[in-house]
Chain A
Amino acid sequence: MANAKFVDGVIPEEFQPNDIEHVSHPEVYRFVKDVPFDSSSFQPYIVDHPNFSKKFATLTDPRSAYGVSLFISIDAAKMAYLASTSLRKNTVGLARGHTDINRGISTKANPSGHVDYFLYDYINNSPADDFEFVIKNEDL
């Protein structure tokens, strides 16, 4: 069943999370593309990667591609940074902030400290204002 809070076209109906999945995170970290950063650093992966559905058709639950990736600690973010060539190429550092159920639904952190933040409207209700830049990638 569709979650009415999501604007049309943001997340396919079958992947929309329900409010009861929300877990508030008072401190989370997000890799951003620029300093200063704007809402473009808080776009779901699928927006810039239209081939995503093919990428994960056979492997994983594709829902995570519609969320914005957050990390619950700098250490968790650092591990991701060391693992991902994409992060090293496309981001400049980490911003710290919090999740807000008025902007979207954030999931429980997985064991590696990763949180999916499913935004209702990543263009007009971006969480960018809830974050501040804290550390450059090279200082991680």
Chain B
Amino acid sequence: MDLPQVGRLTYKEPLLEIEYPIVFVCSASNDSYYLFYECESTDDYERWIVCPLSDVDSFMLRTNQMSLRKYFRLYEAKSMTVIHNFDSDSYEIMRQMTISEEDLPDERLFIGHSGADDDFAHALYEDKRYAGKPCLTFRLNPYSNTNGINLKDNINILNGAAQYIEAMGGKRQDYITVNSYGSVVISIMPAKKEDEAKAELHHALFGGFQNLLSSKNLDEMLEASQNNPIAVNKMKKAIECLNDIGNGAEVYTKEANGQVKTSLVNPNDVKTIYKEFKECAISQPTEKEVSGTLVGYNVKRKNFTFVAAEGGDIFEGKLDESFAEDKQYPVPSKVVAKLVLFERKTGKSSKVFYRLKSVKVIE
């Protein structure tokens, strides 16, 4: 149908039918969408309330996160009434700032349905903009509002990532893909090195984010990744991208037992990580034995304090994973401690971190 001031609209799909579609979507030639709601029907004419429909709002409606009434109230300043006169087969349009109460649907009307999330994912999958090569990096769960990331955030991440990729001179279809199960995956790495990117970034996420998420401790995360500077570098790039987008993400990881885990990195974490990553780099770790006094340790908190016999230097840090937790050591006691040292450069200065791997009591 041709609507004055709007142009030609093509019927796309019904969202709710009773004898015929009552709520349906039409597309315009510029790839924008409009939602139609039939608020009146007689033998002479039919009347619709029509509003522009964004991807985000489409999602919210289809997944029952927003009632139809609320949607119209939100966008009523952009709404219009369209009257279709049957006899003349003509359309009249009336712009309006508000929608009258009697034209709005019942507040209890939600037009979503079970499986709507899958439908949306399939729609994305078929969207040629996202039809790319498969690659595994970030997995966004666009219809989950758990863990503090809601649909809108996820759509923003997707759009933000697409903008970021294009701003960097890439093509979104080389980086973003949607599989038929509804996972939106975004690769920060070039698709031409797809396999390498997949392995490296997944490694980075596996070794880094998972630790971060379980410990919420940046140092532990860095330590976990210390043996793989490539992974750290890739993770840095991933974090830069997220920081640029200004959003968090759910991260897909595979645990040692093979179970898949989806974890959260929220926007604040991303900003913190980005800031720290920007300023730091990690040296290769070194190991040395030092005689001194073990003055205290806590296996639950996994920390320790050790004073070197020579020079009285104080070493504080974390217990290494290999540290025998079930073994009791009297404190204070004279020991030979096996320490792992690594250095993190912070701007112009640097900081050394220690891990206590084992102790041998000598007195």
Tell me the number of A-to-B contacts counted with CB atoms below 8 Å. Answer: 87
List of B residues within 8 angstroms of A64 by Cβ:
17, 19-21
* Chain A residues whose CB sits within 8 angstroms of the CB of B11 once the complex forms: 58-60
Chain B residues whose CB sits within 8 angstroms of the CB of A56 once the complex forms: 20
Q: Which of B39, B41, B115 has the most CB of A within 10 A?
A: B41
- Residue picked from B16, B46, B110, most chain A C-beta under 10 Å: B16
Give residues of chain B (94-135) contacting chain A, Cβ–Cβ below 8 Å.
105-106, 108-111, 113, 115-116, 119
The verdict on A102 contacting chain B, using a C-beta distance below 8 Å, is no
From residue 58 to 106 of chain A, which have CB atoms closer than 8 A to chain B?
58-60, 64-65, 69, 76, 79-80, 82-87
Smallest beta-carbon distance B293→chain A, Å: 71
Evaluate contact between B14 and A83: CB separation under 8 angstroms.
no
A4 proximal to B (CB < 8 A) = no
Chain A residue nearest to B2 in the complex (CB): A58
A5 close to chain B: CB less than 8 A: no
Write out the residue numbers on chain A whose beta carbons fall within 8 Å of the beta carbon of B28.
Answer: none
Asked whether B15 is an interface residue with its Cβ less than 8 Å from the other chain, the reply is: yes
- Whole-angstrom distance between the Cβ of B318 and the nearest chain A Cβ: 52
B14 and A110 contact, CB distance less than 8 A: yes
Is the CB–CB distance between B14 and A60 below 8 Å? yes
CB distance from B327 to the nearest CB of A (A): 61
A102 to B227, CA, bound (A): 72
With A59-B11, A111-B113, A111-B119 already in contact, the answer to whether A80 and B46 are too (CB < 8 A) is no
A83 and B16 contact, Cβ closer than 8 Å, known pairs A49-B43, A54-B86, A58-B1: yes
Return chain A residues, CB-CB under 8 Å to B19.
45, 64-65, 69
> Chain A contact residues (Cβ within 8 angstroms of B): what range?
20 to 34
Q: Is B23 an interface residue (CB 8 A)?
A: yes
Question: Shortest distance in angstroms between B24's beta carbon and chain A's nearest beta carbon?
Answer: 7
Contact partner, A84, options B18, B89, B113, Cβ 8 Å: B18
Return chain B residues, CB-CB under 8 Å to A57: 89
* B-contact bits for A41-63, CB 8 A (1 contact / 0 none): 00001000111101111111000
B31 within 8 A of A: no
Inside 8 A of B87's CB, which chain A residues have their CB?
54
Q: Does B22 contact A (CB under 8 A)?
A: yes
Q: Does B289 contact A (CB under 8 A)?
A: no
Report the interface size class on chain B: 35 or more
Complex CA gap A136/B43 in Å reads 26
A12 to B38 CA separation, bound complex (whole angstroms)? 26
Chain B residues closer than 8 Å to A79, beta-carbon distance: 16, 109-111
Give which listed residue, A50, A52, A59, A112, contacts B16 with CB less than 8 A. A112
Complex contact B105–A82 (CB within 8 A)? yes
Nearest Cβ distance between residue A80 and chain B, in whole angstroms?
A: 4
B40 at the interface (CB under 8 A from A): yes
Whether the pair A83, B20 counts as a contact (CB closer than 8 A) is no
Residues of A within 8 A of B1 (CB): 58-59
Known: A51-B86, A54-B86, A79-B111. A69 touches B18 (CB 8 A): yes
By beta carbon, the residue of chain B nearest A64 is B20
Q: How far is the CA of A67 from the CA of B197 in the complex (A)?
A: 54
* B115 nearest in chain A by CB position: A111
User: Which single member of B16, B39, B41, B44 contacts A80 (CB below 8 Å)?
Assistant: B16
Contacts of A54 in B (CB 8 A): 86-87, 89
Name the residue of chain B whose CB is nearest to the CB of A58: B1
Chain B nearest CB, measured from A13 CB (Å): 20
Whole-angstrom CA separation of A80 from B43 in the bound complex = 20
Q: Judge whether A111 and B105 touch: CB under 8 Å.
A: no
Residues of the A chain whose Cβ atoms lie less than 8 Å from the Cβ of B302: none
Task: Give the shortest distance, in Å, between A28 (CB) and chain B (any CB).
Answer: 14
Complex: how many Å from CA A83 to CA B299? 62
Known: A83-B23, A86-B41. 16 other contacts (CB 8 A): A45-B19, A55-B41, A59-B21, A60-B21, A64-B17, A65-B19, A79-B109, A79-B110, A80-B18, A83-B22, A85-B41, A111-B115, A111-B116, A112-B14, A112-B17, A112-B113
Please name 18 pairs of A and B residues whose Cβ atoms are closer than 8 Å in the assembled complex, sorted by A: A54-B86, A57-B89, A59-B24, A60-B14, A60-B20, A64-B17, A69-B17, A79-B16, A79-B111, A82-B105, A82-B108, A83-B22, A84-B18, A85-B41, A86-B41, A111-B113, A112-B14, A112-B113
Interface residues of B (CB under 8 A from A): 1, 11, 14-24, 37-41, 43-44, 46, 68, 84, 86-87, 89, 105-106, 108-111, 113, 115-116, 119
* Closest A-B pairs by Cβ, 4 of them: A45-B19, A82-B106, A82-B109, A54-B86
